[in-house]
Amino acid sequence: MVVERVHGAGVVRLWRGDITTLDVDAIVNAATRELAGGGGVDGAIHRAAGPELMRELRRRYPDGCPTGGAVSTAGHRLPARHVIHAVGPRWQGGGQGEPLLLDSAWTAALALAAPSISTGVYGFPVARAAPIAVAAVGAALAAPGTPLRLCTIVCFSETDLAAYRQALIGGSSDGGG
Ligand code: APR
């Protein structure tokens, strides 16, 4: 654990590591519209969950999921109980509604843990993606009646972590860790 911040009755936690190892209620995948698996975190989640994950996706969501949306499945062989498959926008320079679509993907996906949607293969600049993500997570945790209590944003690289840390705590000191 690297940084924590309280939002309403909940907590946003920023953590560096492999999201497939988290023993939580749900992790969030950065998926494609086809929900067909892929590289990056999507490939890692499918490898760790086993082939049952793809079978469930094909059976329940044969038409895939639009950009900005999310669907959920069981976690199968993962320690996480559920996987929420969020489809972020591919970065195309910022003039194609990408920030709104990324906010929509985060809002649709909000659960207990999430990777850095759209900032890998899809090329969304992480310095611009992190404030959208942190705002969406904070709003969801502070929403009246939400069952969410802890949301962990999982960053794979030190560079991503620095951008999310900046978005979460700015220049202030953190809880260490
Ligand atoms: N745990 C946590 N984060 C991870 C892991 C992991 N095991 N593996 C990769 N990441 C991070 C990347 O470092 C990046 O910061 O996830 C973030 C999102 O990157 P991508 O996985 O490339 O996702 P995205 O940019 O949304 O592109 C989606 O990539 O995964 C494929 O099939 C997916 O084609 C789709 C595209």
Give the predicted TM-score (pTM) of the model: 0.86
Question: pLDDT digit string (tens) for 63-75?
Answer: 999 999 999 999 9
Q: Report which DSSP code applies to 68.
A: T
Ligand 1 atom having least distance to the Cα of 40 = 21
- Alpha carbon distance 14, 124 (integer Å): 19
Question: pLDDT digit string (tens) for 13-65?
Answer: 999 999 999 999 899 999 999 999 989 999 999 999 999 999 999 999 999 99
- Ligand 1 centre and the CA of 145: distance in Å? 31
Instruction: Kindly list the strands in the beta sheet with 10-16, ordered across the sheet, starting from the edge strand earlier in the chain.
Output: 3-7, 10-16, 150-155, 113-114
Instruction: Answer whether 88 contacts ligand 1 (Cβ < 6 A).
Output: yes
Give strand pairing partners of 10: 7
Structure tokens at 68: 């900005």
SS3 69: coil
